[in-house]
Amino acid sequence: MTITTKGRYALRVMIDLAQHGDGSYIPLKTVAERQGLPQKYLEHIFRLLVQNHIVEGVHGRGGGYCLTRKPEEYTVGEILRLAEGDFAPISCLECGAEPCERAGECRTVSMWKNLQGMIEGYLDGITIRDLMSDANNTNCGV
């Protein structure tokens, strides 16, 4: 499983909205400038977040984006699933995958399922609020 720029940028956008949101809408241009990210690319990410009711968007003067919930109510796992899909470490565990013809004799499938469960558990245990705190202590730039 690889987290792409789409997933990483989605998390950065969510943290930005949480840190700077005071109930008002933040223009996409402002977020893009603060994060040093391409505005065109963020349009796609915001569209995904709005369609899934993660953020709310308003067009026109005074418009922009804001969170629909409190930062502690969003998990990293939720955001990454929207951007990246599931956390399956192998193709036969992906959502909607065809049943593997070797599933009955596969000696590694339980290991991969356990790994997937650990990844999901870890990422679902971290909130945007947690990342806001971490963002104050690091200058990662990822």
The class (CATH top level) of 5-86+127-135 is mainly alpha
Mean pLDDT of 33-39: 96
- Indicate the pTM of the whole model: 0.87
**Mean residue pLDDT across the chain:** 90
Amino acid sitting at position 78: E
Strands, DSSP E only, in 34-135?
55-58, 64-67
Domain ranges of the chain: 5-86+127-135
- The candidate with the shortest Cα–Cα distance to 16, out of 6, 7, 26, 2, is 26
Q: Which residue has the higher pLDDT, 71 or 90?
A: 71
Is 44 in contact with 7 (CB distance < 8 Å)? no
Q: Residue 106 — very low, low, confident or very high, per pLDDT cuts 50/70/90?
A: confident
DSSP E strand boundaries for the chain: 55-58, 64-67
